């Protein structure tokens, strides 16, 4: 391992580097500094402030008032917050495998020599760069019980129509479908990059050994896509915990709290009920969950890749 790499990896120390390496490291930090300052000012400092707010009663219109751990105690008795945790896990549990399977399947398809391949790749990726509010509005129209396209098609086909967003049982699956449509393009792009990074010699060797298509996928593609899969898994989990825009626009957490998620509860407490202290406590719980999951996942990735 080079000295510079040791330094970056944390196993070396700045003092042990020679003058040239020190100079290079300083330049590296100089170039990193705009981003580091941004993260420090807009993420790290607000996070520290949120720790303080979580221990206060704070409406944003009056100075914070110290209440100790009251907000956390209240969290345990908050039925709606518990429902939002359950709904978030429900969302996460269903969208994660769907996103992986569908994303990989489309990526494999778009990795073939197809006509208009670039066009299809663009089409698949488009929803990802579309604003969440726009996506939510489009799907709200599609799902509309009385005037929506989906129920119209079902009627034309002679099939029973659905309540979509207007029933407790179908509201969350409807949101998951919209979220999947929006995000699968991003997974496809990552998997495409992963697929194109697999050296063709492995496939040639597998062909010589007489491997069929499934065996090539099972023993070559899938293991070599493992780092990509883990990256998608981690980011999907983090993204699912932060899910907000679709819920806010499409259902406001209803019907009967069937789609309220943690981020929606945090927003509602902070900006609708003016309970920034309590919302900060909820945000810290969310932060702890996401941070723990991230640490575990990245260790897993490191051990797997390393």
Partner 1 sequence: MRTALLLVICSMLLTLGAPAAIAQDGVTLQFWTRIGGNETANNLVTSLVDEWNEANPDIQIDYLGIPGGEYRTKLLTSIAGGTAPDIVGMDVAIMPQYMGLEALYAVDDLISQEMRADFGEGLWFSNTANGQTFGVPWWSDPSAIFYNKSLLEGAGVEPPETWEDLRNVVEAVTQLTDDPETEVYGVVLPVVGPWVMFIWLPYLWGNGADLVDAYDCAAFNNDAGIEAMQLWVDIFQAGQMPRSAVFGDGTAAITSLFYSDRVGMYTSGPGMYRRALEINPELDLGTIVMPRPEDGNHSAYLGGDNLVILKGSEHPEEAWQFIEWLVDAQRMTELAEANNGLYIAGLITRESAFTDDHFERYAYQQAFAQAQAVGRAPNTVHLSEARMPVWENFQAALDGQMSVEDAMSDAELRVNEITGCDA
Q: Which residues are near partner 1 by CB under 8 A?
A: 59-62, 137, 140-141, 143-148, 155, 163-167, 249-252, 254-257, 271-274, 276
Distance from C-alpha of 293 to C-alpha of 290, rounded to nearest angstrom: 5
176 vs 190, which CB is nearer to partner 1? 176
CB of 116 to partner 1, least distance (A): 34
**Residue found by looking up tokens 């997974």 in the block:** 187
* CA pseudo-torsion sign 91, 93, 99, 102: negative
CB of 240 to partner 1, least distance (A): 22
166 vs 235, which CB is nearer to partner 1? 166
CB of 61 to partner 1, least distance (A): 4
Phi-psi region of 60 (alpha: psi -120 to 50; beta: other; left: phi over 0): left
CB of 10 to partner 1, least distance (A): 33
CB of 306 to partner 1, least distance (A): 43
Instruction: Report, in this order, helix, strand and coil percent for the chain, each rounded to 5.
Output: 75, 0, 20
183 vs 251, which CB is nearer to partner 1? 251
Cα dist. 250→92, 231, 239 in Å?
A: 18, 29, 18
164 vs 241, which CB is nearer to partner 1? 164
- Whether the CB-CB separation of 133 and 249 falls below 8 Å is answered with yes
Contacts of 165 (CB under 8 A, 6+ apart): 140, 143, 171, 174, 175, 250, 251, 255, 259
240 vs 259, which CB is nearer to partner 1? 259
| Three-state DSSP class for residue 39 | helix
H helix or E strand, kind and range, residue 57 = strand 56-57
CB of 87 to partner 1, least distance (A): 14
233 vs 261, which CB is nearer to partner 1? 261
Tell me how far the alpha carbon of residue 232 is from its chain's centroid: 8
Contacts of 12 (CB under 8 A, 6+ apart): 3, 6
75 vs 225, which CB is nearer to partner 1? 75
61 vs 201, which CB is nearer to partner 1? 61
CB of 64 to partner 1, least distance (A): 10
Question: What length does the chain have?
Answer: 306
Distance from C-alpha of 181 to C-alpha of 276, rounded to nearest angstrom: 33
Q: What are the tokens at 201?
A: 């010699």
CB of 60 to partner 1, least distance (A): 4
């Amino acid at each position: 391992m080079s000295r510079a790499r040791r330094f970056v990896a944390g196993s070396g120390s700045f003092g042990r580097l020679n003058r040239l390496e020190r100079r290079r490291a300083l330049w590296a930090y100089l170039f990193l500094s705009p981003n580091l300052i941004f993260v420090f000012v807009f993420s790290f400092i607000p996070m520290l402030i949120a720790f303080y707010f979580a221990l206060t009663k704070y409406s944003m219109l009056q100075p914070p008032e110290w209440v100790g751990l009251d907000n956390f105690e209240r969290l345990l008795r908050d039925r709606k917050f518990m429902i939002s945790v359950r709904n978030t896990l429900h969302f996460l549990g269903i969208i994660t495998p769907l996103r992986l399977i569908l994303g990989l399947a489309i990526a494999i398809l778009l990795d073939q020599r197809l006509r208009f391949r670039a066009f299809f790749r663009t089409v698949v990726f488009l929803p990802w760069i579309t604003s969440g509010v726009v996506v939510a509005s489009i799907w709200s129209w599609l799902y509309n019980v009385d005037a929506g396209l989906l129920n119209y098609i079902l009627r034309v086909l002679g099939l029973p129509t659905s309540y979509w967003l207007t029933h407790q049982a179908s509201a969350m699956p409807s949101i998951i479908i919209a979220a999947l449509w929006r995000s699968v393009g991003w997974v496809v792009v990552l998997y495409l990059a992963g697929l194109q990074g697999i050296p063709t010699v492995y496939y040639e060797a597998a062909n010589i050994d007489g491997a069929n298509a499934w065996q090539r996928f099972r023993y070559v593609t899938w293991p070599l896509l493992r780092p990509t899969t883990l990256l998608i898994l981690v980011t999907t989990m983090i993204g699912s915990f932060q899910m907000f825009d679709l819920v806010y626009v499409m259902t406001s957490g209803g019907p009967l709290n069937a789609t309220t998620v943690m981020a929606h509860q945090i927003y509602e407490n902070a900006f609708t009920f003016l309970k920034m202290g309590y919302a900060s406590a909820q945000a810290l719980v969310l932060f702890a969950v996401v941070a723990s999951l991230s640490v575990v996942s990245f260790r897993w990735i490191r051990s797997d890749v390393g």
